[in-house]
A and B are shown apart, each in its own frame.
Chain A
Amino acid sequence: MPTPRKTTAPHSPAGPWPGRALVVGFGGEIAAFTLQKLSRKDLYVTRRRVALDDAGQPCQRAALTRDGMLLRSGMTGQGYCNADGTWVPQKALTGLGPSGESLPLVPGTLGTEQALEPATAQQLLDLHVTAVYRLTSVHAAPKLESALEAGRIFRYPFNYRADFRAETAFLVANAEGAFAVVGVPAAPAWLGPDAAPPPESPALDDLDFDMFSEGA
């Protein structure tokens, strides 16, 4: 695998793996990687807008209630309440499926061997991406390196921490290194001649300072 900063450490195939390592099995071998999140601000010049006061210092954000109360940072709390209005602790919450059924907790996948499954480019194109990680090898697997160098793509279940659904990660590599592209599969609709036009959406003219922090 063409990971430029590859360091093969003396871990046994059974681990233990450092910290929150990504561990995958392929062709009877085990590969382990450490992960670092990759975002736009790591690679490119980004643009942001900052509101300044009369003294040229950055302004602070706050909120104003409809009855005129000023809410400064640290003045509010938030959480979930049941039908009676009673606060529900975060650790007591479960996930609900489409029919309202309680979903089982899916354990985190880091540090636990995940089986790789061959994937296609089209499956990766259908992924709604939520995170991208660059991978640094800490235990090499020659068969996997060869497969990734040949341009093959693999997928596996991914959960950074225990949650009520597992995301899907795609493992790819190029001349820069190996990467995990994580997200949730999406399914575009097939359109025939009689397909209805897409639903109308709110006009995209509401600007606020949040949107200015992206892009350059």
Chain B
Amino acid sequence: MTLRTLHLSDETGRDATVAWRPVPALPAPAPGLDGAPVTFRRWLAASESGTHAALSAAHGGDYAAELVDGDPEVDLEVAGRPVGETDAVLLSSGGELLYAAPQVEEQLVAPGGAVQTRRAPVDTAANVDEVLPVRVGAKRMKREEAVRRFVFSRTLQLHHVDGLTYEYLHGLAKRLDAAGELAPVGAGREGREPLVLQGNGTPWRGFLEGRVDGPRYQLLLHLAQLELKQPTVETP
């Protein structure tokens, strides 16, 4: 367990390491029956001889009549057996279990689904809690403009960790709130690179929003990876 932190530099160049947490959404209603909760279960439905591939090999491509006449897909020894924890494994294209690490190829896929580039994997390091802080940019954007340009699909709430960082974050929230603006937040020396929260994770464009209510504040880092735009190529 660890406290998730972010090394932030404000528009004046002052920096501090602060904590963050995702803003939680209201949970979806739990499933139930007659007012009582139900539990999710996984179980074995078929043995290997009952899979589509095995049935196709044994009975030909169209085996509907065999299913009706002889129930070849039902294996009473295993059907209904509960499935607990499992480990993910990889099979070769021929269906054999792999005991050695596979080769991994990275594919860049263009809109429309065509593979544009195949290459050796390029790892991306996390960059929000490094020696070089992420920077609050000077180019601001009104809230009303931002929500009509970007889809903010995640929001992190920044937390102070002591009295000094309380003053720091409250002051930043107050300045942003007074202007009604969002400030871009970027990584790298110029503060223009996208934010990567974890190794090989999604690159996000960050926008900081502040709200103040007396001594209380909300400093929200809205994350976008999608613009409100029309595709140039229709995806099938």
Name the CB-closest residue of B to A206.
B198
Stretch at the interface among A11-19, A25-33, A107-115, A180-188: A180-188
A71 CA to B198 CA, complexed, in Å: 30
Name the CB-closest residue of B to A177.
B230
Mask: chain B, 199-212; 1 = CB below 8 Å from A; 0 = not = 11111000001010
A97 CA to B30 CA, complexed, in Å: 7
The reply to whether B105 and A50 contact each other, CB–CB distance below 8 Å, is yes
Number of interface residues of A (CB under 8 A): 107
Residues from 148 to 189 in A contacting B, C-beta threshold 8 Å: 151, 153, 164-165, 170, 172-174, 176-177, 179, 181, 183-189
The answer to the question of B63 belonging to the interface, with a C-beta cut-off of 8 Å to chain A, is no
Contacts of B226 in A (CB 8 A): 38-40, 43, 132
Number of interface residues of B (CB under 8 A): 110
- With A48-B107, A192-B215 in contact, is A76–B95 under 8 Å at CB? no
Mask: chain B, 89-113; 1 = CB below 8 Å from A; 0 = not = 1111111011000111111111101
The reply to whether A188 and B93 contact each other, CB–CB distance below 8 Å, is no
The reply to whether B25 and A184 contact each other, CB–CB distance below 8 Å, is yes
- With A50-B105, A211-B201 in contact, is A121–B143 under 8 Å at CB? yes
- With A60-B95, A88-B33, A174-B149 in contact, is A151–B144 under 8 Å at CB? yes
Contacts of B43 in A (CB 8 A): 76-78
The reply to whether B39 and A203 contact each other, CB–CB distance below 8 Å, is no
Q: How many A-B residue pairs have CB under 8 A?
A: 328
The reply to whether B51 and A188 contact each other, CB–CB distance below 8 Å, is no
Query: Helix, strand, loop or mixed for chain A's interface?
Result: mixed
A87 CA to B45 CA, complexed, in Å: 13
The answer to the question of B148 belonging to the interface, with a C-beta cut-off of 8 Å to chain A, is yes
Q: Would you give the shortest CB distance from A212 to chain B, in whole angstroms?
A: 6
Q: Would you give the shortest CB distance from A87 to chain B, in whole angstroms?
A: 8
The answer to the question of B235 belonging to the interface, with a C-beta cut-off of 8 Å to chain A, is yes
Mask: chain B, 63-90; 1 = CB below 8 Å from A; 0 = not = 0000000000000000000011111111
Contacts of B209 in A (CB 8 A): 125
Mask: chain B, 40-74; 1 = CB below 8 Å from A; 0 = not = 11111111101111000000000000000000000
Contacts of A83 in B (CB 8 A): 36
The reply to whether B29 and A188 contact each other, CB–CB distance below 8 Å, is no
- With A62-B91, A174-B228 in contact, is A121–B25 under 8 Å at CB? no
The reply to whether A198 and B149 contact each other, CB–CB distance below 8 Å, is no
Residues from 114 to 139 in A contacting B, C-beta threshold 8 Å: 121-122, 124-129, 132, 134
A195 CA to B202 CA, complexed, in Å: 30
Residues from 94 to 137 in B contacting A, C-beta threshold 8 Å: 94-95, 97-98, 102-111, 113, 116, 121, 124, 126
Contacts of A202 in B (CB 8 A): 1-2
| Cβ-neighbour of B25 out of A64, A87, A186, A195 (below 8 A) | A186
| Cβ-neighbour of B199 out of A75, A126, A207 (below 8 A) | A207
The reply to whether B45 and A77 contact each other, CB–CB distance below 8 Å, is yes
The reply to whether B40 and A80 contact each other, CB–CB distance below 8 Å, is yes
The reply to whether A47 and B106 contact each other, CB–CB distance below 8 Å, is yes
The reply to whether B90 and A75 contact each other, CB–CB distance below 8 Å, is no
* 22 CB-based A-B contacts, threshold 8 Å: A43-B226, A52-B105, A55-B93, A62-B88, A62-B89, A64-B86, A65-B86, A74-B45, A94-B32, A96-B31, A125-B147, A129-B151, A132-B151, A151-B144, A187-B23, A187-B26, A190-B213, A190-B216, A191-B157, A199-B21, A203-B1, A204-B197
Known: A50-B105, A78-B40. 19 other contacts (CB 8 A): A49-B104, A57-B93, A59-B102, A62-B88, A70-B97, A76-B44, A87-B41, A95-B28, A96-B37, A102-B34, A103-B29, A132-B226, A165-B28, A184-B25, A185-B25, A186-B24, A186-B25, A198-B4, A211-B201
Which of B's residues lie within 8 Å of A, judged by CB? 1-4, 19-21, 23-26, 28-48, 50-53, 83-95, 97-98, 102-111, 113, 116, 121, 124, 126, 142-149, 151-153, 155, 157, 159-161, 163, 166, 169, 197-203, 209, 211, 213, 215-218, 220, 222, 225-231, 233, 235
